[in-house]
Amino acid sequence: MQPQARPALRFPLHIEEEKQRLVLSNDTERIFVDGVPPYATATLIDRLNAGSTAGELANAVYLDERHVSAILGALQREGLAVEIEPETYTGEQIAALLLRFYRDWNEALFSGPLWSSLAEGRAVPRVVDGWLIEGYHFIRGANARLAYAAAHAGDERIRRIFAHHYVEEYDHHTFFAESLRRRGIDPHAVDRIGPLPTTLAVINMCRRAARLDCLCYAACSGLLESTGSDATRASSFYQAIAKHYDREGSGFVEPLQRHSDLDEGFGHGNVMTDVFGPIKLIAADRANQVVETVSLFKETLQLWFSDIERYYFVSPPFDNRLARRHYRPRVAAQS
């Protein structure tokens, strides 16, 4: 690699050290790097997207250019870096990249303890209730995130897309409210007690993305919609939920399936590509911000799912008479 080349890292990539060797990982693989100084190499990788030349990187990490060139060449061969980042991308290129990320991320998101225990019938009933309760709060949060995104969108075309999406989505929490009622949970009590802090964190992360850039919000929204865009997979999941947790025949799953079918009919899984597709030029810095933001949003979703599973597992069954929530169970004082 030439000393004046400006290599760039492909996102997302996690860096860690394990037994004196460097471990690079994303959501689909772990790559072990031997024969290089771990700390200097990790520092080099951290600096890749600062726009530094290969020569400047070598000086910054106190390695000779031959070592830096070898490390960067290995990253390129593994598809983790590019030699020279383009100054601009098209919207179609970013949309294609995001769709690839969504496929990998959905596998990681929905193979975690919450979703696997629900699908396999291992979750306790109060975790099923918690999944419905927090889903209700989040879907109702469309009024806090989608309207906000439309208001902040500086591009008139994108604002119209967000507004149209909001008009179709603003009342979809009623499906979850009906599911809760069939499960014996009063939605008014759920409203009174409020969501988990992590549910609010997901909503607020969407609002932050909207403040940063309408494209950041579109990328985060695209990840959310991609989770339900596979109608066959969604239907199979809901059938499993009904089989394992509705032996009384309450039909609490049926409103959820209707909501999924309605979203599919509206084409909400295409909103991200509708936003990005017509854009001819996106500056590299802006594109990197989009990918960084949606990567952080994916991690926020993972924390949310983990918190739902953990909180409702250790909490007593939902009580419609409760006035407020205790986020963490109180530990009895030791005598």
Query: What tens digit of pLDDT does each residue of 78-128 get?
Result: 777 766 667 789 999 999 999 988 988 888 888 899 999 999 999 999 999
Mean pLDDT of the chain: 86
Stretch among 186-200, 269-283, 312-326 having the lowest mean pLDDT: 312-326
Is-contact 130 114, C-beta < 8 A? no
If you write DSSP's letter for every residue of 65-125 in order, what string do you get?
HHHHHHHHHHHHHTTSEESS--SEE-HHHHHHHHHHHHHHHHHHHTTSHHHHHHHHT-S-H
Instruction: Report the distance separating Cα 316 and Cα 311, nearest Å.
Output: 10
| Total-model pTM | 0.78
Asked if the model's pLDDT at residue 334 lies above 50, the reply is no
pLDDT class for 252, splitting at 50, 70, 90? very high
pLDDT class for 331, splitting at 50, 70, 90? very low
pLDDT the model gives residue 333: 41
Does residue 255 have a cis bond before it (omega within 30 degrees)?
Answer: no
- Strand-strand pairing, 21-25 and 282-283: unpaired
pLDDT the model gives residue 108: 85
Cα–Cα distance list, 253 to 16, 108, 186, 246 (Å): 42, 24, 16, 8
Read off the pLDDT of residues 217-247 as tens digits, 9 standing for 90 and up. Answer: 999 999 998 875 566 788 899 999 999 999 9
Rounded (10°) CA dihedral 93, 101, 85, 76? -130
If you write DSSP's letter for every residue of 202-226 in order, what string do you get?
HHHHHHHHHHH-HHHHHHHHHHHHH
pLDDT the model gives residue 306: 96
Stretch among 31-45, 108-122, 123-137, 278-292 having the lowest mean pLDDT: 31-45
- Work out the angle between the directed axes of helices 125-140 and 113-120 (0-180°, nearest 10): 120
Tokens at residue 286, please? 């802006």
pLDDT the model gives residue 130: 97
Residue-wise burial string across 65-77, b where 16 or more C-beta atoms lie within 10 A, e elsewhere: eebbbebbebbee
Asked if the model's pLDDT at residue 2 lies above 90, the reply is no
pLDDT the model gives residue 85: 64
CB-count exposure of residue 313 (10 Å: 0-12, 13-18, 19+): middle
pLDDT the model gives residue 275: 97
Cα–Cα distance list, 269 to 49, 99, 101, 200, 223 (Å): 30, 11, 15, 23, 9
pLDDT the model gives residue 167: 92
pLDDT the model gives residue 232: 77
Residue-range domain boundaries for the chain: 8-66+76-82, 88-314
Residue-wise burial string across 211-221, b where 16 or more C-beta atoms lie within 10 A, e elsewhere: ebbbbbbbbbb
- Work out the angle between the directed axes of helices 91-109 and 284-314 (0-180°, nearest 10): 20
Question: What whole-number percentage of the chain has pLDDT above 70?
Answer: 86
Q: Of the spans 10-24, 26-40, 163-177, which averages the highest pLDDT?
A: 163-177
Tokens at residue 184, please? 């014996």
pLDDT class for 263, splitting at 50, 70, 90? confident
φ, ψ (nearest 5 deg) of residue 258: -65, -40
Sequence-distant (6+) residues with CB within 8 A of 82 are 7, 8, 10, 76
pLDDT class for 1, splitting at 50, 70, 90? low
Asked if the model's pLDDT at residue 46 lies above 80, the reply is no
CATH number of 88-314: 1.20.910.10
Residue-wise burial string across 241-255, b where 16 or more C-beta atoms lie within 10 A, e elsewhere: bbebbbeeeeebbbb
How far is residue 48 CA from its own chain's centroid?
24
Q: Report the pLDDT averaged over residues 30-41.
A: 76
Cα–Cα distance list, 30 to 23, 24, 328 (Å): 7, 6, 34
Read off the pLDDT of residues 168-214 as tens digits, 9 standing for 90 and up. Answer: 998 999 999 999 999 999 999 999 999 999 999 999 999 999 999 99
